Structure 1
Amino acid sequence: MFGTTSMPRRRRTALAAIAVSAGLLAASGTAASATSAVSGPPAAAAGPHAGGTPLPGFHDGYASDDGIRIHYVTGGHGPALVLLHGWPETWYAWSGLMPSLARDHTVIAIDLRGLGDSQPASSGAGSYEALTLADDVHAVVRHLGFTTAQVAGHDWGGAVALAYAVEYRTEVTELAVLEAPPTADYLNLVRQRPGVLWWDWFVNGPQAGVAEQLVDHDPRVFYTSIYRGALPAATVDRYLASYGRPANTHAGFEYFRQQDQGEPAVDQLIARDGKLTIPVLGVGGQNSMGAQIGQDLPRVAEHSSTAVVPGADHWVMEEQPAFVLQLLNSFFRR
């Protein structure tokens, strides 16, 4: 996920960290080398869908938010359940859960702006901040004819899901946040654990496209170092079909670069309008963030609960799909 506290301070530290990160990439590379309807994919995603064809019983489509085309996959019937993926993933992160969730929900799995088959935006100020991304979600939900929704988000999707619930308070009925500390809490986490969350410092190093150039040379080396062997090879190939495109890598990096302004903006809305009053579930992997997500949520929500996914690292939906499915079904059906 995201970054640290102040942009100048982070970039000064990143100047030193980027040399280490570049060395890691080089070393890894040696081993590795062994709201209106819009039809058709955006230009940046010409050809076959990067995330693969939709699941049986699902179909994909596009909605527009301020001229940006947002890709989604939907199926099922019943109340809307919005699923938001993390980085570096696509809507496909939810594919193991979607058929079961669609039995009594209209499932809407969205590719976040600039990722998967959604169109990138310019890199102008605010174009990848959480509240802007939440507006994309709102455009898709309204495009599909819903006025309220339940929402679940993992990693960056969790940050966007929280921003969506904060900005559109009357339109979100329940919220599940998976492996995503709320707003500025993650910025503090990165400051405390720079060696673990090294990619955030790497991305926020020199801004002349250095990070993009290093990654674009061999995307598999960089992204597989993030997955750390936790995902099946076929799933990694699906994600690399998206993140192997330079435009998608750049968009993903802009999420990190703009969060120092974006996350405090969500906190400001909470300070102005009060904590969320809807039920909020915080989920962490046992070998990753554990109970920390749920422990942080009372700062932003009045009614929160905590769940830990046993035996899971960060990629909880792919690592323990049956457990996460049961967890979400229980939470969203109560």
Structure 2
Amino acid sequence: MELQDKYVTVNGVRLHYVEAGEGPLVVLLHGFPEFWWTWRHQIPALVEAGFRVVAPDMRGYAQSDKPPRWQDYRMELLAADIAGLITELGEERAHVVGHDWGAAVAWGTATFHPEQVDRLVALNVPHPERMLHTLRTSFRQLRRSWYMFFFQIPWLPERLLRRGGRRALEGLYKDAKPGAYTAEDISRSEAALMGLGGLKGPIDYYRAALRQSPRRAQAQFTPIAAPTLVIWGEQDRHLLAEMADPDPRLVPDVRVERLPNASHWVHHDEPERVNALLVEHLQRQP
């Protein structure tokens, strides 16, 4: 399998992406603190299954542009990036798959640009309505989400993470299964996040999310038209497993697959199971 490095300008930003395969388009969206490399286990399996696979570095990350203001990372703009990417790739629609922040952007793309999302897959991030509701009502989740509030402080989170370097990244992955992340994986993430990319853009995702008024966020919740698969590693130390099931009024066509022994890094912990679920969902006939 040959991966091609490419660039495209959409929505005012230049995005780097890798591409492989031929067939229906699948867009893979990474989370924090990663980049396209996070999908190294999934890309070959999807190509073998007959898909054209594109995995971008999202804005603010690695080799993609890094707008300077936190306002540049509002969900409307992140979703517009993906909608524009699909169009620039010559397609009207695509399957959209995301993990962590990539899953949040996948939910946002299906909300703001439903006509461009064929099937949707979210890994270990709930529908935003469920996230907002749980943050409001669950002290357990609020306690787990402490870092989201810490990230609202200007410049200090970036400085501390950069000072922590490789050890900080290893700490983020400490709940993954032994062997799920290799030394090469950590080195690549360190280079992308702290070398090529810098930390301000990735942390600005959190700043933009929490600085939006809850009323405005709720006004954006409309039913997801795309058939949806939620894959959830139940050993997630950041997010409560009870959030995996979305409100059926907002996601009427949904299937939730729980992996009891996997962590937040579910696609690294159990790649073969995740790959099988992805292929099954994306190949499912209407």
The TM tier, using the shorter chain, reads 0.7 to 0.9
Give the number of aligned pairs: 273
Using the size of structure 1 for normalisation, the TM-score is 0.76
1:148 aligns with 2:75: no
State the Cα distance separating 1:293 from its structure 2 match. Answer: 4.5
Counterpart of 1:233? Answer: 183
Contact 1:131/1:266 (<8 A) preserved = no
How far is the alpha carbon of 1:212 from its aligned partner? 1.6
In structure 2, the residue matched to 1:38 is none
- Aligned with 1:322 (options 252, 261, 272): 272
Most deviating of 221-230 and 70-79: 221-230
| Counterpart residue number, 1:24 | none
* Paired letter, 1:203: F
Retained in 2: the 8 A contact 1:96–1:321? yes
Letter matched to residue 234 of structure 2 = Q
Matches of 2:11 and 2:265, distance apart in 1: 31
Query: Is 1:71 matched with 2:16?
Result: yes
| Mapping of residues 188-227 of structure 1, within 5 Å | 188-190=133-135, 192=139, 193-205=141-153, 207=154, 209-227=155-173
Instruction: Work out which of the residue numbers 202, 219, 224 in structure 2 matches 1:268.
Output: 219
Counterpart residue number, 1:46: none
1:86 equivalenced with 2:36 (yes/no): no
Alpha-carbon deviations, 1:265-297, whole Å to 9, x = none? Answer: 564233xxx412221111110212575344125
Name the residue aligned to 1:118. 64
The 10-residue stretch of structure 1 (72-81 or 240-249) with the greater mean CA deviation from structure 2: 240-249
Contact 2:228 2:254 in 1 (8 A): yes
Match of 1:173 in 2: 118
**Per-residue deviation at 1:174?**
0.8
Conserved 8 A contact 1:286-1:310: yes
Q: Which residue of 2 aligns with 1:105?
A: 51
Question: Does the CA contact (< 8 Å) of 1:284 and 1:292 recur in 2?
Answer: no
Counterpart AA for 1:102 = V
Question: Is the 8 Å Cα contact of residues 166 and 266 (structure 1) preserved in structure 2?
Answer: no
Residue 159 of structure 1: which of 93, 104, 119 is its match? Answer: 104
The amino acid across from 1:62 in the alignment is: Y
Give the root-mean-square deviation of aligned CA atoms. 2.1
The amino acid that maps onto 1:120 is: K
2:263 aligned partner: 313
The aligned amino acid for 1:141 is I
* CA deviation string 1:131-166 (max 9, x = no partner): 211111122211111111011111100110011111
SS at match of 2:120: strand
Q: TM-score, normalised by structure 2?
A: 0.88
| 5+ long unaligned stretches in structure 2 | none
**Runs of 5+ in structure 1 lacking a partner?**
1-55
Q: Does 1:286 align with 2:234?
A: yes
The structure with more radius of gyration: 1
Q: Percent identity?
A: 29
Conservation of the 8 A alpha-carbon contact between 1:97 and 1:321: yes
Rate the CA distance shift 1:153–1:239 in 2: closer, same or farther, 3 A.
same
